[in-house]
Amino acid sequence: MDAYEKVTGALRYGADRLPPGTAHAVFAVATVGKGRLLSVDTGAAAAVPGVRLVLTRVDIESAGFLLGGGYAFQSLQPLTSDQIAYRGQPIALVVADDLVAANEAAALVSARYETAPVAVEIDAPGAEVVVQSEVLPDLHDISVGDGEAAYAASPVRIDREYDLPQQHPLPMELVASVVEWQGDKLVIHEGTQNSSAIQNGVAKQLAVPADRVDVISPSVGGGFGQKNSLQPHIGPVAVAARQLGRPVKIVLSRSQTFHAASFRPASRHRVRIGADTDGRLLAAIHDIDQQTSRHDYFPAMYSELTARLYDISNFHSRQRLVRTDVQTPGYMRAPYESPATFAFESTIDEVAYAVRKDPVALRLANDTAVDPVTGHPFSSRFLADCLRRGAKRFGWADRSFAPGSMRGRDGSLIGWGVAAGAYKGAAAPATARLRLVPTRSGYEATIWVDGHEMGQGIRTAINRLVADDLGLRSDRIAIGVGDTRGVPPQHLTAGSWGTATALPAVHAALKKLRAQLGLGPRGRLPPGLGETVVQARTQAPGQPEAIHERAALGLPAGGGPEYPNFTSFSFVAHFVEVRVETTTRRVRVPRVVSVVDCGRVASPTTAASQVRGGVVWGLGASLRERSEVDPRFGGFLNTSLEEYPVPVNADIGHIDVGFVNKPDPRLNAVGVKGLGEVCMVGVAAAAASAVFHATGRRIRHLPMRLEDLV
């Protein structure tokens, strides 16, 4: 629906809209990693021509942490106290007539601090380790059977440790807003995955009723979890806009985004897997340490997936949090699943080599139709199909088992690796409003539904459903998402539940429309129908009706992967070919085959694109991405696209995407499961097993770089 506008640059994102008289805001930020602000000198900044306002304090409340009952990516709201919790924390907001003046003035803000030592890495002195189940009692660790005893008794035991780095999403659309008061109404234009959280969060911060806040976010230029809640600039910018009586625009620089928005925390995984000599998996123990901030507990939920990848009846996991001096980390695409599978699937590959069994055959032999954690069936599970089809498409049968045994014509070492992945089948409450209007040539439909377009093509998926059902041309269907004005709540779109949440609600509205008009369950619309409006709402299986009240308050309300009688996951198998140059040890990836079980494929074109995007990101995680920190002074160092390398077109070879495409009628009436995140899960593990197959070397950290292979 919106591809043409996207690729031609015509699409307007949140902060592209500039009302007349807009002023420009820029943050000045803390230059120390931790401590107390003694004084801020704003004299030089205020003297820059064009500067209208310099705020060092704002009288607003914290909107609370998204995972602690609040609305913001962290509970700490800058400019509300003298506490400095991390390097790069805003200490002043400068507003000027133009961006040049605002930038110049922000650079002239200086401050005096009382400093304290920082701990920004998991092992740093002063980093405080807490047991998650003790500080977040709702998140009990997963334990099935007796992991320790079964592991100790296993004939084959692999015990490995893996280090996963901090990483930042680098969305094309920077974190940005245009904030405008229209009388006593606050209008926020912003690229967000969660318009309702911003609406309710800002209302709480400013002590105004939520119905006086509109959030408009029809398109997001990349969310990935970083844009899942209230960003810390919005409250102060709203205060500035009110004081000045002008709209104010802020665009965080790429560098500031590394500190003013959430990131993927560092994590360390110890994986122990026990098997018999035929490769039957007997036990697994997955222990994780994950970084969080001092002021919030960003939970670790890595073993939610690894406990379910295979039929392992003795599983244990313990998750700990490490409090460090950073902004609160957060979700970044496949937030737990990508690191968790790197560790777990790499260990599975080692089991396969220890028992001399083909890695695909070993996985097939340990498949399960039943969730080992709950004993319930999976809503659907076609992981074996993904593995078999992927192996066939890839030509896996031609692989020779021994590492270092395959060579290219140019002498390069060829490695073929495989890994499985999964991502919870989540779903959330949603409300859909459908309006059918007769026109001269037929009908037009407008659909409003919970959801945000952040590149995945949600409008296309919705459009196809409506077009197929009503027999309308796609250009006769308008879709409203991401906008809080006069429509259903715009609940958080995350956790890969966008399609599996919006489509069932739209489906229910279509059914209601047909019932109300006395039409059969199928068939084109007869002529002569009048204007009709229906509204329907759905929620995840087993969720109570009251969940809609929670969603309407802008609070997270997603469900899954455990439902009353089943467990739901999407599945994927990735096959990766690497070529390692013999002299430079540079790793190239000429081809990847990925086969996904995401239930019914709602929109084949956009779905395949999502998978390619996930694979590209997985290769970035494998070979490129790491946010470097300065252990002495705190903060992140490589805060630009220049120094935080991501894959470019020249790095990416052929990505062959396949779908099982079997509807999952248990999760919802449309039969769709999630897709956006699962397609990244397991790519890094497959790449690492390919590097091992090429070179005989196991790399147990990411990214895998030249220096690991020389």
C-beta of 165 vs 274, nearer to ligand MOS: 165
What count of Cα atoms within 13 Å lies in the side-chain half-sphere of residue 103? 7
Phi, psi angles (nearest 5°) of residue 3: -65, -40
C-beta of 27 vs 298, nearer to ligand MOS: 298
Give the x/- contact pattern for ligand MOS in 225-244, rule: CB under 6 A: x--x----------------
Strands ordered across the beta sheet of 652-659: 413-424, 569-580, 587-597, 652-659
- In the set 96, 178, 273, 332, which binds ligand MOS (CB under 6 A)? 332
C-beta of 90 vs 299, nearer to ligand MOS: 299
Q: Least separation, in Å, of the C-beta of 327 and ligand MOS? A: 16
- In the set 466, 494, 540, 587, which binds ligand MOS (CB under 6 A)? 494
Q: Least separation, in Å, of the C-beta of 231 and ligand MOS? A: 14
Q: Is 482 left (phi over 0), alpha (psi -120 to 50) or beta?
A: left
Contact present, 574 and 686 (Cβ < 8 Å): yes
Strand locations in 353-441 (E): 413-424, 430-439
C-beta of 75 vs 496, nearer to ligand MOS: 496
Stretch that binds ligand MOS, among 136-144, 219-227, 241-249, 252-260 (CB under 6 A): 219-227
Of 175, 237, 228, 226, which Cα lies nearest the Cα of 202? 237
Q: Least separation, in Å, of the C-beta of 469 and ligand MOS? A: 28
Q: Which of 104, 643, 677, 707 is catalytic?
A: 677
**Binders of ligand MOS: how many residues, by CB under 6 A?**
11
C-beta of 33 vs 674, nearer to ligand MOS: 674
Stretch that binds ligand MOS, among 223-231, 236-244, 382-390, 576-584 (CB under 6 A): 223-231
- In the set 78, 235, 335, 560, which binds ligand MOS (CB under 6 A)? 335
Task: Dig out the tokens for 668 from the structure.
Answer: 């919802």
CA dihedral 199, 205, 207, 209 (to 10 degrees): 10
C-beta of 297 vs 331, nearer to ligand MOS: 331
The reply on whether position 448 binds ligand MOS by CB under 6 A is no
Q: Least separation, in Å, of the C-beta of 137 and ligand MOS? A: 23
Q: How many other C-beta atoms are found inside a 10 Å radius of the C-beta of residue 606?
A: 22
Phi, psi angles (nearest 5°) of residue 200: -75, -35
Of 226, 201, 230, 231, which Cα lies nearest the Cα of 213? 201
Stretch that binds ligand MOS, among 35-43, 210-218, 307-315, 332-340 (CB under 6 A): 332-340
d(CA 506, CA 498): 12
Write out 471-519 in H/E/C secondary structure.
CCCHHHEEEECCECCCCCCCCCCCCCCHHHHHHHHHHHHHHHHHHHCCC
The reply on whether position 171 binds ligand MOS by CB under 6 A is no
Per the annotation, the verdict on 643 as an active-site residue is no
The reply on whether position 331 binds ligand MOS by CB under 6 A is yes
Contact present, 25 and 249 (Cβ < 8 Å): yes
Q: Least separation, in Å, of the C-beta of 264 and ligand MOS? A: 9
- In the set 33, 147, 223, 265, which binds ligand MOS (CB under 6 A)? 223
C-beta of 144 vs 494, nearer to ligand MOS: 494
Give the x/- contact pattern for ligand MOS in 286-325, rule: CB under 6 A: ----------------------------------------
d(CA 381, CA 420): 12
Task: Dig out the tokens for 238 from the structure.
Answer: 């709203």
Q: Among all residues, whose Cβ is closest to ligand MOS?
A: 225
Mode of pairing for the β-strands spanning 315-324 and 267-275: unpaired
Sign of CA dihedral 58, 634, 334, 173: positive
Question: Which residue ranges make up the site for ligand MOS (CB under 6 A)?
Answer: 193, 223-225, 228, 331-333, 335, 494-495
Catalytic site residues? 677
